[in-house]
Chains A and B, each alone.
Chain A
Amino acid sequence: QQQVKQSPQSLIVQKGGISIINCAYENTAFDYFPWYQQFPGKGPALLIAIRPDVSEKKEGRFTISFNKSAKQFSLHIMDSQPGDSATYFCAASMNEPDTDKLIFGTGTRLQVFP
């Protein structure tokens, strides 16, 4: 119940295309869903996060879509760029990160080719 399932494991997209990464969870008590971006040799960095009271959140080219009934959420990267090539992790927790630990998905390695 504590797992967050992420797919695909790897993704290859052409420059300008849309990258879509999906995550699913079981625990309905989760109410905070962040996405982290990790470049090689660096620690993961928060990219965007959503709470279940909204179905979509957009920040620039990055959008989280949230489907509470299906217990799924996804990251969409519009107009993907080579600089977006990184590993992306979804995560979930029952509260804010200062009161509850984050459970991470298995990661998606995104490669964007020119």
Chain B
Amino acid sequence: SAVISQKPSRDICQRGTSLTIQCQVDSQVTMMFWYRQQPGQSLTLIATANQGSEATYESGFVIDKFPISRPNLTFSTLTVSNMSPEDSSIYLCSVVGAGANVLTFGAGSRLTVL
């Protein structure tokens, strides 16, 4: 299955700032997604990262708050903008590999907003 590298693995940020999380995959994938996992909670899909076009956002998530880029088949970024303590969470990149039909997750980026 695809190997996913996420950066940063964790960060502590100040309220009102923005942080960009990078997701690099070791092989071309058909689908890339961004999930949020709040402390002790389930996995909530933020958006599908579409190559070369605007991401598809789930209900409750908007582009201004969570801009996403996917310039090619192996790389995507998620920015958490104008952060507040409520954005403290683990953000997970996930992919479906070509021909694999399995959703694989990265280790996540743990974000703490003070």
Contacts and interface: CB of A to CB of B under 8 A. Distances in A.
Q: Are A and B genuine complex partners?
A: yes
A97 B31 contact: yes
Interface residues of A, number: 18
A44 B33 CA distance: 14
B103 interface: yes
Nearest to A32: B101
Interface in B38-59: 41-45, 48
Contact of B107 (A41, A46, A102): A41
A97 B101 contact: yes
A101 B33 contact: yes
Q: Indicate the member of B30, B42, B104, B108 with the most A CB atoms within 10 Å.
A: B42
Given A43-B107, A46-B103, A97-B103, A89 B31 contact: no
B101 A96 contact: yes
Contacts of B92: 43-44
A42 B107 contact: yes
B96 interface: yes
A98 B100 CA distance: 9
Contacts of A34: 103
Interface of B: 4, 30-31, 33, 41-45, 48, 92, 94, 96, 100-108
19 contacts: A34-B103, A41-B107, A43-B106, A43-B107, A43-B108, A44-B43, A44-B105, A46-B102, A46-B103, A46-B104, A96-B101, A97-B31, A97-B102, A98-B30, A98-B100, A101-B45, A102-B45, A106-B42, A107-B41
Closest CB pairs A-B (n = 4): A43-B105, A98-B96, A97-B103, A96-B101
